[in-house]
Structure formats: structure tokens, C-alpha cells
Structure 1
Amino acid sequence: MKVVAFQRSVQGTGASRRLRNSGKTPGIIYGSKDAAVAIELDHNALFHALRKEAFHSSILDLEIDGKAQKVLLRDYQMHPFRPLVLHIDFQRVSASEKIHMRVPLHFINADTAAAVKLQGAVISHIVTELEVSCLPADLPEFLEVDLGAIEVGHGIHAKDIALPKGVSLVLHVGQENPVLANARIPLVKSADTEAAPAATAAAPAAEAPKDKA
């Protein structure tokens, strides 16, 4: 994805306020051996870009005054109640240095899982993104979590998913091996099933008809 920015020479709270009033968003780009650079971006274009999943987990082509460089979105601040991007941070990336990045999870085949179709289980998504390590060229836009074989009472863990070539879980994620999704029978359904036999047993027996004198 391409992002267009311009170098910002004036900084400070007052300058940033004037910038926002003119439809721009202040930001910064840092990292690598180069000095940090203050930048400004068109607010509306940036606001719509932030609504795209790929903008948060992809290598971006940031063009500053006609010169492009590879960056990652690292942070941004939103106004507490207005649809306004207050500030944004980008980090430069090197093609030869590994990066750590949180990548979104896409859950597939939940509708065809036997636990759902035959047993009426409900699948809960416990984790929606994972932190991975890889070279910038190997960074996936998302990771797929196949739920087709999930069983009732069991979950899919981080180490259960297939990672693309060159991509690995960061150390602490691999050690913790968190549950990404699980399958459970709804409690209401279980309670209804248990209550039915009890109601049948408690029902009074019908009285036998009395003979007429």
C-alpha cells in the first residue's frame, strides 16, 4: 500500500493544532540509521486507510516529497469521541533485518466443522491476532486458522496453525502457546437437555377412570 506524506518543518502543539484544522495529520517516521523525520499527511485519506486491515499489518510504501521508503505502521492516536486522527507513527524497515509484527487471524471452515454441524457447538474466537517474526518480504497480510477439525471441549492453539515460509512465532508467543479458538456446547442447550427428563419424571400419573356404580 502506498502512503503519501510531506516533510513538516514546524513543530509544537500550536503548529499541530493548525495542521489538523487545515485537514492534515501530523506524524513521524523513525528507525534505521536515519534521523527521525516529522511529516504531515492528508487526514481524510489516512482515516480511510486506517479502516483497512492490510494498512495495519503490511509493509507500506511511504512517499515523502517524491522519495519512497518501506515502513510499518507502529502507532496512532484518535480523538476520544470525534472521527479524527491526532497523530501517527511509522517505522522504517530494512530488507535484511527481521521485524516483529502483529498479524490478524482469519478463521476458516467453522461452518463445516462436525462439532458445529452435528453437535451444535459454538466456536469462540479467543485471540484475533498473533505476533510473528520474519523478514519484511515474508510478512503475511494475515494468518489462516482452520477450524474444520475442531472438537467439542478442545481448542486450536497458536502452534497448531501452519505458518508461511520464513515466518515464526515470537519467542514468548511460542512458549505460551495461547488458545486461538475453542468449541463449546451452549450452556442453555445443555440445561434444557437435562431438564427434559426431570420434567417427565416429575409429571403426575393420570388417574385411572372410576367404574360407575
Structure 2
Amino acid sequence: MRTRRLALTAAAVAALAATATACGPDNSGTGSTAAAPAATTAGATAAAPGGSAPAATGAPAATATTGATPTKAATAPKSPAPSSPAASGAASGKSGNGTCGAGDLVLSAKTESQAGGYILITAMAKPGVSCTLPATHPTIAFGSGGIEAANAEQATGTPIPLSGAKVAYAGVMAKTTKGNQAVEFTDVIVAIGNADPNPAGVPVGKTPVDKPIVTNWHTVPKDAVPGL
């Protein structure tokens, strides 16, 4: 009987040993060489007390868990630099053949001795400006009180396109009376029509003014002599 019990005990021990060998020892804490779960390879370890555990080295955090190829961040398109007026061909004044304003012109005045003395007004378009002087006379006035010049010509003039170096002329006779009642001014105000929003003051030196007159615009200086 004793011998039989020993045999049974030995058989039981052998069975337990076989079971332990089939299941394998628990090596999770002793550096098992079995493949680790994907989360472990990504460095997603359990958080340590007091803070998050650092990611495992050797694998980028962006691709380890998903295996996806990193996506390049979209780059916003660059807006073109604003073009300057010179680059775009826009002039500071008018383009095309619109009616000139005084602000579109370079204006000057010169005293002439012909016909008893008069003021020759010269007009040129500013650089980059193309415009047309109307078929009439400029609006001419002296002083803040606005002593305005009357038309010296009965006939209508001809519209004059201005651009580049082309010049137009108008003649102003500041005093047409014989008396001494004239008022002296040193500047003449020039506008292109009464509605011109930017009339220009042009120096003329000391000039007696009484009942002034002005010619139409002309392309030749001698045609702008008042009274001829």
C-alpha cells in the first residue's frame, strides 16, 4: 500500500511539473523576450505617481501607435505684395483724356510787355497724366475777394490734349481801365472751370488789378495775347 501511495505522489508531482512547463513561468516582471503590445512600443507606459511617464525612446510619438505616415502641415499661400502706383501704371492724376483740373497741371506765370503788359499763363500736364483742357478760357481770379477775369475772346477755342512736354497758354490782362483805382496783388488763382475743386495759386509779382480779362487756351504763345 505504501508503495502505491508513493507512486501516486510521484505521478502527481510529474503532472504538476508538466502543467507548469506548458503554461510557462510569469516573466512579465523579469524582462521577457515575448513581443510587447503595440502601446508599449509607442512609449504609452502607465503614468508614474505624480506625473506622466516619459515616452519610450527610439520611436516617434506621432507614428508609433498608428503607423501612419506623418502629414505635412498645410502652408498658407503667400499673398502677392501690393503693387505701387508706378508698378501698376497708375498715375497720381488722371489717365486717358478726361478734363484737366488745376491739380493735374504744372502752372506758371510770366509777365509780358506786349499789348500794354499782360500775364502769360503756361500749363503742362504733370508726369504720368494725360488730360484735355476745355475749349474755353481758364477761370482766373485775384485775391480772396475773387476779382474774376472776364472772357477776352468771343469765339470758342479748341480742346487741347495735354501730356508729356506739350504746353498750353492763356493770356491775362490784369488791368483794362485807365484810372488809378486798381488793387495790387502778387498771386493769381487759376482753375479749370468754376467747378474745379483744387484751384492753384501762381505767383505773378506785384500786379495792379482792375476789371481783368483772360483769353482761351492756345497752343501758341502769340495767340494768347489779350486784345489782339
Larger Rg: 2
- Superposed pair shares fold, TM > 0.5: no
TM-score (normalised: structure 1): 0.23
TM-score (normalised: structure 2): 0.22
Normalized per residue, the structure richer in helix is 1
Normalized per residue, the structure richer in strand is 1
